[in-house]
Every structure is written in structure tokens, then in C-alpha cells.
Structure 1
Amino acid sequence: MNVWFAASEAAPLVKTGGLADVVGALPKSLLKRGVDVTVVLPKYGEIPASYTEDAVTLETFHVSLGWRSQYCGLQEITVDGVRFLLIDNEYYFNRGSLYGYGDEAERFAFYCFAFMEALGRSERLPDIIHCHDWQTGLIPFLLRTRYAYNPALHRIRTVFTIHNLMYQGVFSQDLLKDLLSAGDDLFGEEGLEFYGAGSCMKAALRYADKLTTVSPTYALEIQTGEYGERLDGVLRQRSEDLRGIVNGIDTDIYDPMNDSHLKVPYRNSLAKKRQNKTVLQEELGLSLDENVPLIGIVSRLVGQKGFDLIGEALPGLMEESLQIAVLGAGDPGFEAMLRDAVQRYPGRIAVWFGFNEGLARRIYAASDMFLMPSRFEPCGLSQLISLRYRTVPIVRETGGLRDTVEAYNEITGEGDGFSFGPASAHDLLYTVRRALSFYGNPEAWKQIVLNGAKKDCGWDASSKQYHLLYRELATG
């Protein structure tokens, strides 16, 4: 089985979010199942030279993009046993960051065309192309339209994974027609047309052979008007080809016993875990007390993540004996809310704006609870990382949070976290207070933590499902 991944980022080379973690970890798990995986990635300037200094240039060629003819270099490296092909074009990819430019449509249309050209030049064609998010959404479309003339490509099947339906790659039809050299016939209701514009996400939803999301619950949610981001009709039409496969995490990387970012390694010892709490309290300027419950948050500061609920609940939370440590960046309004909270509650709330991998690990390790009150969450990795670090998640019951966190049942003793349904500050506050009541019972709390320790947060089960999906497509 030969599979090519198409993605805009992949750990450890370059990362802005959970997409990179998935594209970095899933191929390694598939390799253990005998799947030959190649990850095709833009060669960003942000990729550390230590990964690219030994890159081998396989070919150079030009890519036609509308009226443009752009240089492309195809380079090969191997990282952690996984083969990477890097699409080299400094104009498009050697910039200060991965995303956020005015020519995003052109940059990733170039990537998709370059991917197809690299495919045609490969000595061994893949059985499956696995595309991730809107930046790669044009690949299934190009395979079945612009490159349909090549009979060697006809047997290739495509899988498209939706990591977050909110981000769809929507651009004007005139721009996409120019970049794709396409006419009106490809922009009807059954094509790329999206409320007068064109959607790269919709291109994949229409043309990929199979669709996946990153949790079973999210696969159901996006077929409704509430979560479907105006694509729910298309997704309902393709419901037979849509399935949810929950993400995992790389348990070798996320391991509190072997994490270089932590001062005190631990496995199941809550005493050693609490030593990391006092280290973090000192680092962030929180009051030093290993017994006070610490709630951690590592997140983008955006409405999707429920920060409006946190803001409403904050006065009630501060009536309790607890501390909060936040790492993230995003909406200026939420950042201002958190700055104000730090001033009003000195020594009890600490916020670090931006992202810092080492600090994120220390928050996971030091916290007793991890708060994720998301309004929607395709999968989420933070709750899985928190379980790995013996930190109890408090989540809203949506998407992958519902699929991966089992609410604690004090009668049966089962469950590894706490959850609430309605997206309300009242329910958030009630659930945190409930968690605090069990934190005050050392035996009950130890049981909750040990329940979470038994959960398999790795990729083995999920990669098995992807492998079965690939085989189903390749043999069908």
C-alpha cells in the first residue's frame, strides 16, 4: 500500500496547530502497519535548516498556473523514517509565516498543481492520495478534471480529511477561474460554486472518493445547519462516503516521564506531578501553593474555544480557591479580557500571550485540571495530551471532546473527566465546581486520574481505521 499525504504543515518540520501534529504522527503509525507513506509539503522558510540541509533535489520543472509559469523544485528528505517531498518555490513559501497573505488562493493553487506534477513524475504512483484541509482541496478536483487525460492516474483514489469545516478556502470565482484556467461549467451548484464565490473545500467534498472528519460526533454535527458552515447539504448528500475517525497523539513525544521541558519527570505519581506545579507557579508569578487546584488552558483565544463563556464565568470562578494558567493568542477582545483578569486577580491568574512549546508542556504537567469549553471542536488534541499528563479535562460535550472524554460517575467510579452540554457560563461554572468538590476528596481524585491513565491516546486504533479505509478504496 502506497499513500501520499497532501498537507500544508507537518510536525516536526513546521507547525501552527493540531493539523501538523496529525500529519506528523499518523504516517509514523501507518508505517508500522506496512503502509508506505510520503508526505508532500511546501518548503517553507520556517522549516529549520537542520531538516533541509541534506535535502536531495529530485527534479526541477515549471508549473502552469493560469497565465503564469512558475518554477518548482522537488526535494526529498527523511524524518523519523517518513519520506517527505518538499515543494520548493521561494516566492510563495519563503515568507515570515505560513498563512495570512493576500495571495493565499494562488499560493495553494500552485501547491496543488505542483503536487499533481510531482505525481506524474513519480516512478511509483500512490494507491491513495490523502488530502488534509482546504489548502489541498483542489487536488481531488484536478485529478478528476485537468489531469483526467492521463490514464496512469485513473486508478488513484482520494481521501479528504476535514480538520475544521470553518476554514474553507473561499475566493472569488474570477480568481479561481484564472488560476485553474476553468470555465463556468465547473462553477455550478454541483461544482465549486459557493454562494456566488468558489470554495476549495467544496471542491474536495465533491470530487474526493471518501471523506473523513477527525471524530465520529463531528461527522454527524457537520451534517446539520448549526455546525455545517453552509456545506451541510453537500455533506448530507455524501453521508455514505463520510466517516469520523478520532485523532490520536504521538505518545512518544507527549510523555511526562521523558519530557525534556519538565523539571520533574513522572508517570502516575501525583506527588511528583505537584512538584511541577510549584515550578510553574514560580515561572508565571502565581502564588506558591502545591495544594491549590490549578486549571490550565492552552488554546487559540477565539470564540470557537468558548472564551466568551470563560469571561462570563470568571467572577464566579474567582470565588473558588483555584488558580488559572493560560497560554495562547488570538482575538484582541479576549486578550484584553485576560489582561484585565490578571490585574484584578494578582497571583491567581497568569497569561502568556503567543505560543511556546516548552511552556505548553509545563502547563499540561503542572495543572490539575484542563479547561476546554469549546462551542465546537472537530477533535481537539489538548484533552488527549492532558490525559497523557495525568491532568483531568473539563470539556463541553461537542465533537471530539464528547468522543474522547468520559464524564466521571461517582456511583460507578468510571470516567476520566468532567463535561457539560449547554454552551453557557452557568453550566461551565457548575461543572468546574463539581470537579473541585472531587479534587477535595484525594481518593476519588486519584481514581479519576488513574482512569485517564488507562486510556489509549495514541494513534494505533485510529491508524488501523485509516488503513482499512485505504484498503477498501484500493480494492474497490
Structure 2
Amino acid sequence: MNILFATSEAVPLAKTGGLADVAGALPKALCGRGADTRIIMPKYEDIPWDFLERFETVDVFSVQLGWRIQYCGLLKGVVDGVVYYLIDNEYYFRRHGLYGYEDDPERFVFFCSAVMESIRRLDFRPDIIHCHDWQTGLIPFLLRRRYAFDPAFAGTYSVFTIHNLRYQGIFGKEKMMDLIGMGPEIFDDYGLGHNDAANCMKGGLQFADKLTTVSETYANEIQHPFYGEGLDGLLRWRAGDLSGIVNGIDTDLFDPMNDPAIDTPYRNSLPRKRRNKLALQRELGLPESEEIPVIGIVSRMVEQKGFDLIEGVFGELLDEPVQFAVLGSGDWRYEEMFRYAAEHRKDKIAVRLGYDDGLARRIYAGSDMYLMPSLFEPCGLSQLLALRYRTVPIVRETGGLVDTVRPYNEYTGEGSGFSFSSYNAHEMLYTIQRALRLYKDENAWKSIVLNGTKDDYSWSRSAKAYLAIYEQLASKRKEQESWPVTS
């Protein structure tokens, strides 16, 4: 099978969040299972030159956006054994950063149109176009509406993956009609219209042949109003085509035995892991002690990630026998909360604002516990990285956190972490206090840590599940090709 990943970001070329990790790692795993999987994405200014120099231009053509005729360059290169195609247009993509511009809708309508026109010019024909989030949501729509009878796309199917339903690519109907050159008929009940606006996410949900999201629990949650972001009715209607597949992590890239960013390599040895704790405490200026548990946080500091819960009981948390190692950035109020605490409780908390990949790895390796009290979490990679580094997750029971962290049962000895169900600050506090009590029991703690090594969260398992979906569509195509031709 030939699979084309259409994505707005992918590691190692460009990243703002977990989408890039998935789009960069999953194709490698699929290629390893025999599927020719390639990636197409914008050529951003932020892509490092040492990657860009591997690319060469394979075609130059024009893309029409309504009355506009826009230049498009198609580049091809190989990164980490995977073929990448880049869509080049300096007007739209030669800017610092990937998103956050006023004309983002136009930029990604252009990208979707350019992907469709690029497919005519690729050196392979995709059986499946796998699209990701709202930035590529128009591709399934265009495939079924504009290119439905185009021989170049005969037998081509689409899969659309929801990484975060909250971000939908919403803008005015007039703007959408202007950009794609189609009339108001595209906004009927089965079109792009939603709440009297154009909705790119809905394009993917409505027109893709199969839908996936990044955990089984999140696939169920988004069919209900609280998590459905206004699209729960459509998702219930498409429930038969919706699957939840938990993301994986690159176990070679994130390996505490071979990670050059950390102080001491280790696998399942708690004494060796605790040398990394001492090194982290030393680096962050915290009192060095193997006995004091360290809770790590590496996150965007926003309400979705549960920082309002931390804010609600922060004083009580700092009174516990614990230290916090925090890395991230986000809302000013949470940054200020941590900055103030770090200045006045230097024995309890160290904060680094921004992002530093090396420090993030040292926090995963040097912490005893990892706190992730999210309001909602489609999948989450941080808890998987924590488990990989033998750090015990403390999570709220939502989305992928439910599917990946098994709560510890003191009576059976089963479980790899701690969890709480209600979105309540004191329930979180009590769960943390329980974890701190069990940390003092060396045998129980060792059992919890080792339990976390028993699950497979590599991309190999996820790739197998995606291949099953692709194969369903391939079988459908073969069935259609076998139908008799009637005059």
C-alpha cells in the first residue's frame, strides 16, 4: 500500500505539539511494516537548513484559490529513511512560527489545494491520503467534491485523524467560497457549514472514509457534548467509522539506557535512576536528597492541562515533603504562580519557563512522579515518556490517560500509576498525598515502577492498528473494482 501523510507539522522538521511527534514517527513504523508511507507538509522558514539541504525541487506549478493564482513548488527529500515532500510558497510559509497568523485559514486552504494538485505530480500514487487535524480537513472534502470523477484519484481513500477537537479552523462562509471557488451549496447539512460559519475540521469529519483519534477513551468522549466541541452529533453519526488508537513513542529516541541528555544511563534500576534525581536537583538548585520525592511537570501552562487545579491547592502542595521540577510556558497567571513560588520556596520548587528538550528529558529521568491533571487529553505523550523513564504518572482519568495509566491497587499489587476521576483540586491533592505515602514503601514503589514496564507503547503496536484500517479501505476498493461494468 501507498500511504501519503498530509500534515501541518512533523518531527524532526517542524514541531509545535504532539501532532508533529505522531506525523514524524508513525510513518517510520508503517514503512517498517511494509507500507510505502510518505509525508507532505509546508516548507516553513523554521525548518533547519541541515534538513532543507537534502531536498530538491521536483516540480513547479500554479494553484488557484478563487481569483488568485498562487505559485507552488514541490520539493522531495529523505529524512530518517522516510520520503518527505514540501509545499513551497514564500507568501504563505516564509514566516517565523507555524501558526497564529490572521490569514491562517487562507494559508491552509492553499496547502490543502496544493496537496491535491501535487498528487498528480508525485512519483507514486497514494492509495490512502491520511490527514491530520483541521489544517488538512479540506482534503477529504476536495477529494469527494472537486476530484470525485478525476481519474487521477480513482480508488483513492482518505483517513482523517483528530488530534485535538478543540481547534477546528473556523472562519466566514464568504471567505471559504472565495478561496475554494465554490458556491453556498457546500454549506448544506452535509457540507462545511457549522454554526453559520465554515469549519475545516468538519470537512474532515464529514467526508473522510475513516476517522480515527488518538485514544479509545477520547473516541468515546467526543461523542458527548462536554468533550464534543459542538461536533458530537456528527461524531455520533460517524461512530461506525470512528476508531481510537493510542499514540506510541519512539522507544529508540527516548531510551534511558542510551539518552545522552541524562546523567546516568539506567533501565530498571532505582538506585541508578536516583543518581539522575541528584543531578537534576543539583542542576535546578534544589536541595539534593534521594529521600525527598520529586514531581516533574513538562507542559504548556494552560487550563486544559489542569493548571487551575494546581493553582487551587498550590500552597498545600508546597507544604508536603516533596520537590517540584517544572518546565513549560503558557498563560501569564500560571507562569507568575510558578515564578513567585520558585523565588520564595527555593527548597521546594524550581521552574524553567520556555522549552528545552535536554532539560525535559532530565526531568523525566530525574523525577519520581509526573503530574498530568488534564481537563481533557486526547492521548498525551508525556505520561508515556514518564513510563518509559520509569517515572510514575499521576493523572486525571480522561482520554488517553485512562487508556495508558493503570491505577495502582494496593491489594493486588497491580497498576503503573495514580489517577483521580473528578476534575477537583482536592481530589488531585489527595491522590498526590497517597502517592507520597507509598513512595516511602520501597517494595511497593519498586513494584509500581516495574508494572509500568510491562505495557508496549512503541509505535509498532499503533502502526498495526492503522494498517488494519487501511486494509479495510483497500478491500473496499478491490470489491468495487470487481463489480461488473454495466452500460
- Common topology (TM > 0.5): yes
Counterpart position of 1:228:
228
Counterpart position of 1:443:
443
Counterpart position of 1:135:
135
Amino acid at match of 1:361: R
Q: Deviations over 1:254-294 (max 9, x none)?
A: 10111111121111111111111122112222122222100
1:30 aligns with 2:30: yes
Counterpart position of 1:172:
172
Counterpart position of 1:304:
304
Check whether the contact 2:42–2:111 (CA below 8 A) recurs between aligned residues: yes
User: 1:80 & 1:52 partners in 2: Cα distance?
Assistant: 13
Check whether the contact 2:160–2:210 (CA below 8 A) recurs between aligned residues: yes
User: 2:333 & 2:208 partners in 1: Cα distance?
Assistant: 39
Q: Deviations over 1:276-330 (max 9, x none)?
A: 1122112222122222100001111111000000111211211210001111111
User: 1:306 & 1:191 partners in 2: Cα distance?
Assistant: 35
1:49 aligns with 2:49: yes
Matches within 5 A, 1:213-362: 213-362=213-362
1:20 aligns with 2:16: no
Q: What SS class does the counterpart of residue 474 from structure 2 fall into?
A: helix
Q: Deviations over 1:57-84 (max 9, x none)?
A: 1101111111111111111111111100
Q: What SS class does the counterpart of residue 30 from structure 2 fall into?
A: helix
Check whether the contact 2:247–2:459 (CA below 8 A) recurs between aligned residues: yes
Question: What is the CA distance between 1:392 and its match in structure 2?
Answer: 0.2
Counterpart position of 2:363:
363
User: 1:408 & 1:234 partners in 2: Cα distance?
Assistant: 36
1:68 aligns with 2:68: yes
Amino acid at match of 1:373: P
Question: What is the CA distance between 1:455 and its match in structure 2?
Answer: 1.8
Q: What SS class does the counterpart of residue 141 from structure 1 fall into?
A: helix
The runs of 5 or more residues in structure 1 that have no matched partner are none
Counterpart position of 1:416:
416
Question: What is the CA distance between 1:354 and its match in structure 2?
Answer: 1.1
Q: What SS class does the counterpart of residue 106 from structure 2 fall into?
A: helix
Question: What is the CA distance between 1:53 and its match in structure 2?
Answer: 0.7
User: 1:67 & 1:289 partners in 2: Cα distance?
Assistant: 66
Matches within 5 A, 1:122-161: 122-161=122-161
Check whether the contact 2:54–2:78 (CA below 8 A) recurs between aligned residues: no
Q: What SS class does the counterpart of residue 29 from structure 1 fall into?
A: helix
1:79 aligns with 2:79: yes
Q: What SS class does the counterpart of residue 408 from structure 2 fall into?
A: coil
Question: What is the CA distance between 1:33 and its match in structure 2?
Answer: 0.9
Question: What is the CA distance between 1:345 and its match in structure 2?
Answer: 1.8
Counterpart position of 2:399:
399
Amino acid at match of 1:288: E
User: 1:113 & 1:192 partners in 2: Cα distance?
Assistant: 16
- Return closer, same or farther for 1:288/1:123 CA change in 2, 3 Å cut-off: closer
User: 1:251 & 1:86 partners in 2: Cα distance?
Assistant: 27
Check whether the contact 2:112–2:139 (CA below 8 A) recurs between aligned residues: yes
Counterpart position of 1:374:
374
Amino acid at match of 1:471: E
Q: What SS class does the counterpart of residue 124 from structure 1 fall into?
A: coil
Question: What is the CA distance between 1:250 and its match in structure 2?
Answer: 0.4
Amino acid at match of 2:358: G
272-281 vs 204-213, which moves further: 272-281
Q: What SS class does the counterpart of residue 299 from structure 1 fall into?
A: strand
How many residues of Structure 1 are paired with residues of Structure 2 in the alignment?
Answer: 476
Question: What is the CA distance between 1:439 and its match in structure 2?
Answer: 0.3
User: 1:234 & 1:34 partners in 2: Cα distance?
Assistant: 34
Q: What SS class does the counterpart of residue 291 from structure 1 fall into?
A: coil
Amino acid at match of 2:222: I
Q: What SS class does the counterpart of residue 409 from structure 2 fall into?
A: coil
Check whether the contact 2:63–2:70 (CA below 8 A) recurs between aligned residues: yes
1:429 aligns with 2:429: yes
Q: Deviations over 1:417-453 (max 9, x none)?
A: 0000000011100000111111000111011101112
Amino acid at match of 1:329: S
Q: Deviations over 1:76-103 (max 9, x none)?
A: 1111111000111122112111111011
Question: What is the CA distance between 1:122 and its match in structure 2?
Answer: 2.5
User: 1:272 & 1:92 partners in 2: Cα distance?
Assistant: 49
Q: Deviations over 1:153-182 (max 9, x none)?
A: 131010000000001011111111111112
Counterpart position of 2:481:
none
Question: What is the CA distance between 1:123 and its match in structure 2?
Answer: 4.0
User: 1:66 & 1:96 partners in 2: Cα distance?
Assistant: 26
1:461 aligns with 2:464: no
Amino acid at match of 2:282: E
Question: TM-score under structure 2 normalisation?
Answer: 0.96
User: 2:270 & 2:54 partners in 1: Cα distance?
Assistant: 44
Q: What SS class does the counterpart of residue 85 from structure 1 fall into?
A: strand
Could you list the structure 1 runs, at least 4 aligned residues long, displaced by more than 6 angstroms after superposition: none
Structure 1 vs Structure 2 CA RMSD = 1.0
User: 1:285 & 1:18 partners in 2: Cα distance?
Assistant: 30
144-153 vs 308-317, which moves further: 144-153
Counterpart position of 2:484:
none
Counterpart position of 2:482:
none
Amino acid at match of 2:103: D
Question: What is the CA distance between 1:145 and its match in structure 2?
Answer: 1.3
Question: What is the CA distance between 1:222 and its match in structure 2?
Answer: 0.2
Identical positions, percent: 60
